[in-house]
Structure formats: C-alpha cells, structure tokens
Structure 1
Amino acid sequence: MTAGCLRLKARLLPALRATALMAAALLLFCGLASHGIAQERPPAKVVFSLDFIPLGRHAPWYAALAEGYFRDEGLDVSIIPSQGTAQAIQAVESGTANLAFVDVPSVVLAHANGSKLKMIAVNYQKAPYAIFSLSNGANVTEPKQLEGLNLGSGAGSFTPKVIEGFMAQKGLDPSKLRITNVAPPARATALLSGQVPAIEFFVMAKPGLEGGAKDVHAELRTLLLSDHGLDLYSNGLAASEDYLARNGDVVKGFVRAGLKGWKFALANPKKAADDQIKYVASLKADIILAELKIVGDLAVTKEVKQNGLGWFDPIAMKTAVDFVTKYVGVTGTPPAAADIYALGYLPEPAIIP
C-alpha cells in the first residue's frame, strides 16, 4: 500500500467508524421503539354472539378463550348469549356484536330482507334438525314414517318447512305431516307424557331426552335428517360486510383462534368441559361431554378431514340458498349464493381435526 493510500485511510477511518456507530444506534433505537409500540398496543376487542344461551355445544369457543388462543392473536374476546339466531344476526347488524355463530338458512332469509352478513366459516357441516320419538310410541326410524306423523313443533319456526322440504326431496308428501304447536320449553314433557308422538329439536337435545325416556321406561328414537340425505349447511361464523372490510386481520385471527379451540375441544373434551365451566358455572360436565360428541359428528366430515375445520364449498352454499328459497320461502328478493359468504378468512395452513 502506498504512502498516499495510508494517509487517505487514516483520514477516512474515524469517519467510517462514526458512521457505523450512528447506524447501529439508529437501528437499536428503531428496534426498541417498534418493540415498545408493539408492547403498548392494546388487544383488539371483539364481541362474539352465540346462537343461544351458553350450552355444551359451545364449549369449543370457551376452550379457545381459556387456552389462550384468542389472546395469542392479540384479541380480547367477549362471548355473549342470545335467544336464537335471529337475535344474534340483529346483534351483528346493530353493532352490539362483531361476529356471531349463526346458521346458513337464517342468513339466507336475512339477506332477502336486506342483511349484509357474510358467512366466513361453517362449523356444522351437517344440519342438526332431528325428529325424536319413543320406542313404545311413534318409533320413527325412517323418513317414510314422517307421512301421517303428528309432530310437536313451533308455529313461528321455519324448521317444519325444512322438514317438509326434506320430505319433498325424498319423494314423500309434505302435506301428510301434521304440525302441533308446542313451545320449545314444553316439547320434552309433551313427548314423554304422550301428548304428542314426536317432536323436533336440534340433535344436541338427545342426551337430556334419553334420560327422560328411561324415566318413562322407553328408549329414545332419533331421526337425524342429515343422516338420511338432507344436504344443508348449518351453523358457522358470520360478520357484516363493513366489519370484514375494516377489520380483515382481526377476523382472520378470530377464525384461526376459534378453530384451534374446536380442534382442541374435540380432541380433549374433558379439558374443554372444564374450560367452559370456568365461564359458565351452571353447566354440568357430563352434558357438555355428551353435546361435544354430537357436534363433533356434525362438524367433522370426510371433506373437513381433507380441507380443515370451518371449510365450506361455494357449490354447497348455492344448494343451501336454493333449498331455502324453494322450500322455506323468502320475503323480498332471494340472494345470490355469492352474496351470503366471503372467502379468504379461513386459516392457512388449514386446521385439520
């Protein structure tokens, strides 16, 4: 190295060292500042409405809360009850809730009346509509027995129309199904006392009804329509178009955490029951376990094992819209299938049960 090069190096070296130190200090400051901002950022508050009062079927959502899955996504989640899907939809529409656990047919009906809710995940791949009877009574085990049956149901419910639509698809005569108006709280008593030979309820009512049947020295008979060809999505997650547009990352985090809760609860039902009881002390562990087993059957299908929890097929969404429009009936303009769902909110990679 020449003498001139040595003199030039001597002059430049202090400046280079100072520049390097300044750069390092700047990087350290920026890193600490960004870390501080991340630490100070409060969790996003999310209000989630159930489709009813908290029951054993809802244990996966409470497991997600108790196991810290929502917290890990930076979410502060509150779970609120409702008195049915209509109220849950109203809660989202009014802003009382940000997301809700609602059924696809109800969302179709709401859309016909101007709702902007979108399904973003489907948890119940199979619809839970069931016909209950006693072994020493109507003893309903096959769809053909619905013709001529006197069924205890609700006058204001669209479930009888779902059953009649199912009958029509099976080549049966829906006009031969007779509906007796029995309020939901009175249906179990009406069946067990012989006031009506059969009632309709969600299949999650099976554990309680089985105990009642034993008390009257009979066996409960359960006809789950989805086990006999009813192809209809039921409950899943929904949010408004506006909330999705403004809070996409929050929604993705909620869905990912919620579905982790589902995977955990189905794999660890006893721990999930304990988790739920922390928040809903009035529930009994044995009832939670029985309902979890039932919703596991509704949620985990061959397609879900391949595509993950919450997955849904747009073609099946169209089938749901067509079924509701044809058999249940809508007031207003029937929605297009693409209007009732939004893609892109399910986790990647998928959460396989």
Structure 2
Amino acid sequence: MQRRHFLALGTAAALPTFALAQADKPVPLKFTLDFRISGQTAPFFVALQKGYYAQEGLAPSFDVGSGSVAAITRVASGAYDLGFGDLSALMEFQASQGPLVQAVYQYYNRAPFVIIARKDRGVTDFKSLAGKRIAAAAVESTRRAWPIAARHAGLKADALQWVTTDFSQRDNVIVRGDVDGATYFHDSALSLFQRIDPTQLAVLSYADVGASLYGNAILASSKLATERPEVVRAFLRATNRGIQDTLADPLAAMAAVKAREPMVDEKLEAQRFAITARYMVTADTRQHGLGAVRAELLASQIDEIVQAYELKNKPVASAVFNPAFLPGAAERAFKG
C-alpha cells in the first residue's frame, strides 16, 4: 500500500504540469532581472529560445532591472510574478516586510562578491587592503557584506576607506588611480579587465576567505507559489534545462542573448558567463545539485546578515528559501 501511495503522489504531482502544457493558451508570466541582459543571465534566454518554457505551457517575458532591492520590490508589489535577486537582500526585505517573496532556486551557489585592486598599490590579499581607498556605490551588496568578509579575513570592518562612487564610474576611478580598488560582482568586471591587464589586478573573492554567502536566486511571489505552485515548478524545470545547456556550451548559448540584445559581443559574454559559472558550480553544487541550498549554510548566512545589516527581526529560513518547487535531483545534477 505504501508503494501505491507514493506512486499515486507522483502521478498527481505530474497532472498540473500536463494540464499547463495542454492548455489552449500558455500562462503569461512577468519576470524581472536585477540588471541588464548579459551572459550572466543567458540561461533564461536559452530556455526561451529553445522553447523549454513553451513546452511547459508558459509564456514568460523578461525585463531588465535596477538592482536586487528593486527586483524584490517589483515581485512583492505584484507587478511581477518572478524575479532575480540577491538572497541577502531578500533576507533584509523579509525582516521588515515579511515573506511576500521567497527564493525558489539558488542560481549563484556563492555570491560573486569581490574587491578588485591594483597590485601596484600594494594590494595582494585581504590583509593588504588595510588603509586602502576602495570605491563602491552607496548601497550595494558587496559593500554591505564587507563586514562579513572582513571578520573571516581577520580584519576590522573599518580597516579600509570607502569612496562612494557611482557604479558607472568604478572602472574610471581605478584606471585614473583615484582609488586603490573597487567592489564588484566578479562577472561584472570584464570592462575593467579590458582596460587594465588582469595580471596587474588582485581579485579578492569573499568566498575565498570563508564568507560562504549564497548570491542571486530565482524569486517567486509567495502569492503565486501558494495559489499556482505548478506554474513555479514548470518555470524552474524549463530554466534548469537552460542552465544545463548554458553550462555545457556557453559560447553557443550566447546566441540567445544576442537574439534579445543585438549589440552584445557573444565572445565577451561567454567570457562573462565563464566567471558566473565559477560561482554557480561549486563543491556544494557537485554534491547536492544545482539550485539547492544547505540548511546549515542558509542559517549561518541569516545570522551573519542580521548582524552585518543590524536587522531588528530575524528572517525564518523556511520563508527565505523554499525547496518545494525544485526539479528532481537527477535533473539538477551537474553534468560537467
């Protein structure tokens, strides 16, 4: 009877997806990115171009964004069904606004937070950052997570001097020598690498000093997740296929990005995704599969963010990340 019970559950779980795929009209979905369209987000456009969403009975549209906070707010407001944003930013949002939005697929298994500095200014490792001038936007994830990285590196949070700089000017102030370095998402630093020989730069990753922070995740409206869980599952299945395809052949995948953004350089975006992939595919990913989180690491990140961001309320781990919609383990197993 027990075996029949599990079989019945499996059959029932498959029915909503079949119904979606067989519906007369595909389900429209609005998805907000956190920034512009680039190699970083190629898997979404691979899944779109190859018809994976259509096969699931979905018709998603993808819009550019203006940061993780804006993406989370868009989804929370109901203007968007799904989005792409930083897990730490989601924790902060939930601490003040409640669980209106939840993470359902962990895209970056480690946050690509780095400080990139000029070696000719004496920067070679985290310890050598002490006293250096580091450019960063007033409110951005890498800067805000610095106290966590500093603690792991054995530094005080005030060890360096922040120079508030617009995102668009970070490369310029480093090239001119106005600062010693700047904060970046590692995969957003290709423009700097084109202007300064990368061998002359120290790339200091927070993950390398033990700051095991999850980065951007696929986010879902809690309303959508509650009322139409089959839609969330279908979206993740299709996206997971796009991720696997992009990891398998990044250069070919950039054709889907170029189809959406004709001005992009496919080779350059493939290089960008090569950096992205380093934070998507980690030792954890190889063991637990794409999209998943480890409970102990999630709990640790919540504790660190509560302290670093001085949050008054502590988010609940099960509200921050909901694994119920993930594709099966075999589908998520890294195939590289």
> Alignment partner for residue 242 of structure 1, among 223, 235, 239?
223
Q: Secondary structure at the match of 1:208?
A: helix
Bigger radius of gyration among the two: 1
The one-letter code sitting in structure 2 at the alignment partner of 1:341 is F
Contact 1:124–1:234 (Cα < 8 Å) also in 2: yes
1:229 — aligned with what?
210
CA distance in 1, matches of 2:137, 2:186: 16
1:25 — aligned with what?
none
2:325 — aligned with what?
345
User: How big is the shift at 1:39?
Assistant: 5.2
2:117 — aligned with what?
133
Q: Secondary structure at the match of 1:79?
A: strand
CA distance in 2, matches of 1:37, 1:169: 47
For each residue in 1:198-247, what CA deviation from the matched residue of structure 2 results, as whole angstroms up to 9, or x when unmatched?
Answer: 11111012322111104xx9722211111221111011111122110111
Using a 3 Å threshold, how does the CA distance of structure 1 residues 39 and 183 change in structure 2: closer, same or farther?
A: closer
> Alignment partner for residue 334 of structure 1, among 314, 318, 331?
314
User: How big is the shift at 1:38?
Assistant: 7.2
CA distance in 2, matches of 1:53, 1:287: 15
For each residue in 1:31-88, what CA deviation from the matched residue of structure 2 results, as whole angstroms up to 9, or x when unmatched?
Answer: xxxx999755211111111111112211111111111111111111111111111111
Structure 1: stretches of 5+ with no match in the other structure = 1-34
Structure 1 position 284 matched with structure 2 position 283? no
Contact 1:307–1:350 (Cα < 8 Å) also in 2: no
CA distance in 2, matches of 1:74, 1:320: 36
User: How big is the shift at 1:155?
Assistant: 2.1
1:179 — aligned with what?
162
Q: Secondary structure at the match of 1:52?
A: coil
> Alignment partner for residue 255 of structure 1, among 196, 219, 236?
236
Contact 2:170–2:182 (Cα < 8 Å) also in 1: yes
1:273 — aligned with what?
254
Q: Tell me whether 158-167 or 195-204 shows the greater mean CA deviation.
A: 158-167
The one-letter code sitting in structure 2 at the alignment partner of 1:240 is S
Give the alignment's TM-score, normalised by structure 1: 0.85
1:12 — aligned with what?
none
Structure 1 position 220 matched with structure 2 position 201? yes
CA distance in 2, matches of 1:44, 1:352: 28
What's the RMSD between the two structures over aligned residues? 2.0
Contact 1:134–1:219 (Cα < 8 Å) also in 2: yes
CA distance in 2, matches of 1:345, 1:258: 12
Structure 2: stretches of 5+ with no match in the other structure = 1-17
Contact 1:124–1:236 (Cα < 8 Å) also in 2: yes
Using a 3 Å threshold, how does the CA distance of structure 1 residues 40 and 57 change in structure 2: closer, same or farther?
A: closer
Percent of aligned pairs with the same amino acid: 25
> Alignment partner for residue 119 of structure 1, among 79, 82, 103?
103
User: How big is the shift at 1:282?
Assistant: 1.9
Q: Secondary structure at the match of 1:82?
A: coil
Q: Secondary structure at the match of 2:325?
A: coil
CA distance in 1, matches of 2:131, 2:243: 40
Q: Secondary structure at the match of 1:108?
A: helix
Contact 1:158–1:328 (Cα < 8 Å) also in 2: no
> Alignment partner for residue 301 of structure 2, among 296, 308, 320?
320
Question: After TM superposition, what 4+ stretches of structure 1 lie above 3 angstroms from structure 2?
Answer: 35-40
User: How big is the shift at 1:183?
Assistant: 1.0
